[in-house]
């Protein structure tokens, strides 16, 4: 079974797929840790994410904070409409260093 969250360093892309919630939080730690090593922008591809809860939003906020301190940003790319709504509800898109890029 492929990881539901993985990270590719070049270009820096963190991909989230399937259902992400508190039960899967430990499974995404490795990918998030690898993303923290970037000293530049990280694209978070949410196009294949079908469900997320606030635990993922908190992890993304922490990633954004750490990258911002290093001069980078988090670009939330192509979330499904219900995931985009959650991003807006929790205010993730209003944090410094976070850019929401809706699907085209």
Domains of the chain by residue range? 5-101
In angstroms, the CA 38 to CA 32 distance is 10
pLDDT value of position 24 = 92
Residue 96: how many other CB atoms lie within 10 Å: 8
Length of the chain: 104
- The radius of gyration of the chain from alpha carbons, rounded to an integer in Å, stands at 12
CATH 3.40.30.10 at 5-101, yes or no: no
User: pLDDT by residue for the chain (104 residues), tens digit each?
Assistant: 456 899 999 999 999 999 999 999 999 999 999 999 887 899 999 999 999 999 999 999 999 999 999 999 999 999 999 999 999 999 999 999 999 998 76
DSSP annotation of 85: H
* pTM above threshold 0.95: no
């Amino acid at each position: 079974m492929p990881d539901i969250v993985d990270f590719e360093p070049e270009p820096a892309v963190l991909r989230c797929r399937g259902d992400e919630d508190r039960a899967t939080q430990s499974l995404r730690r490795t990918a998030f840790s690898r993303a923290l090593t970037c000293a530049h922008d990280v694209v978070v591809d949410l196009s294949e994410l079908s469900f997320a809860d606030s635990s993922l939003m908190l992890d993304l906020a922490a990633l954004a904070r750490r990258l911002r301190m290093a001069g980078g940003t988090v670009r939330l790319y192509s979330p499904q409409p219900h995931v985009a709504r959650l991003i807006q509800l929790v205010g993730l898109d209003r944090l410094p260093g976070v850019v929401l890029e809706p699907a085209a």
